[in-house]
Homo-oligomer: A and B are copies of this chain.
Amino acid sequence: MPEQPRDSVGLVRPQKAHFDDPLPLACGRTLPAYDLVYETYGTLNAERSNAVLICHALSGHHHAAGYHDEGDRKPGWWDAHIGPGKSIDTERFFVVSLNNLGGCHGSTGPSSINPESGRLWGPDFPMVTVVDWVDSQARLADHLGIERFAAVIGGSLGGMQALQWTLSYPQRVANAAVIAATPKLSAQNIAFNEVARQAIRSDTEFHAGHYANHDTLPRQGLKLARMVGHITYLSEDAMGTKFGRDLRSDDLNFGFGVEFQVESYLRYQGDTFSNSFDANTYLLMTKALDYFDPAAEHQGDLSMALAPAQCPFLVVSFTTDWRFPPLRSRELVNALIRAGKSVSYANIESPHGHDAFLMPEPRYQDVFAGFMRRVADDLGLSAISTEETAHAL
């Protein structure tokens, strides 16, 4: 693998776990059986105490680090932070990263076969929530023999899952990192999600979600959804720096073709996404975002909702993130403090907007790596030698 950098986890291979125990869901329905696709990086120690769970965001998946084959040009989506010597140091931690239920990268979701009907789930796949995901992740932990995670970590929608872990399974989380997230979506956040859903659902190729049966895809709708989403991932400044008002060619053409570079970029992003992501999954993921609101059962009192949490928290926000602005992270931090929890908070200066959580910003890396060193030290984890590893799996 001459092309892969030395701090990479290298070649990785997705694995699949099958679950036969029916999973009761927040919507009232039950998933009879399901698969979860996941990857692991690093080595589980003999005490099984060094496992870290990575939770993915809206369009994420299990492939968080490393490469799938030697020709791979792009590593996993969080490769900047997972690897030997990186923030999540795979020489100390055993990292688990999965594709969530309802996803379209191998875990059971709308594009899977419903075992009860023998046909595609499609739009009949049940609505899944962050709470459901955490339940399914706990079963994956059981399957892997992990009683307690050294840390559960996620950015954006992944941060919501990390937070939910501390509430659903407080005794199974030693630490939680909630990055670029929010304790609940704002009306504006929901509004953007609703535009995305309307775009997909009004595409004439959507066929009420049964597009696969019509041998088609709602590409235009998904493209629009992604374009809207993408605007909210970047800061206005980042977009300005990247594209400004630069034209594609020298002159205005006074037509509706691509004129400005930013139009070209967005169309390209939208097209690529619409050919690789499942529309029904996108709909489910946006709904999971909208529904997340742990304070709702406590008359909106977030610190009451956080009472079950037992572990120390790291909360990170980014100055130019306008999707989930620093203010939303501070809401969470303040509620954690009111609830008497231990929390470290960093607001990282970054020009990259919401997407900053994916990037290798030096101060972000310092904060993140410092937190993870503390996690390792608290648990007495050192670099893993071969003798110490767990053999049962």
Return A362 CB to nearest CB of chain B, in Å.
26
Whether, in the assembled complex, A63 has its beta carbon less than 8 Å from a beta carbon of chain B, the answer is: no
B191→A266 contact, CB < 8 A: yes
Question: Which among A45-53, A99-107, A236-244, A385-393 touches the partner chain?
Answer: A236-244
Cβ 8 A contact of A190, one of B185, B224, B252, B260: B260
A187→B224 contact, CB < 8 A: no
With A228-B228, A245-B293, A262-B190 as given contacts, are A198 and B223 in contact (CB-CB < 8 Å)? yes
With A256-B283, A283-B256, A291-B252 as given contacts, are A245 and B187 in contact (CB-CB < 8 Å)? yes
User: Within residues 157 to 195 of chain A, which ones have a CB less than 8 A from any CB in chain B?
Assistant: 184-188, 190-192, 194-195
A227→B267 contact, CB < 8 A: no
B187→A242 contact, CB < 8 A: yes
Number of copies: 2
Residue count of chain A within 8 Å CB distance of chain B:
53
Residue in B closest to A290 when the chains form the complex, CB atoms: B260
B256→A197 contact, CB < 8 A: yes
With A188-B231, A202-B220, A227-B198 as given contacts, are A254 and B127 in contact (CB-CB < 8 Å)? yes
Give 26 A-B contacts (CB < 8 Å), ordered by A residue: A127-B254, A187-B236, A187-B239, A187-B240, A187-B242, A187-B244, A187-B262, A188-B231, A188-B240, A190-B245, A190-B260, A190-B263, A191-B263, A192-B231, A194-B260, A194-B266, A195-B224, A195-B231, A198-B220, A201-B256, A202-B220, A245-B293, A256-B283, A259-B290, A260-B290, A322-B322
Interface residues of A, Cβ cutoff 8 Å to B = 26-28, 126-127, 184-188, 190-192, 194-195, 197-199, 201-202, 204, 220, 223-224, 227-228, 231, 234, 236, 239-240, 242-245, 252, 254-256, 259-260, 262-263, 266-267, 270, 283, 287, 290-291, 293, 296, 322
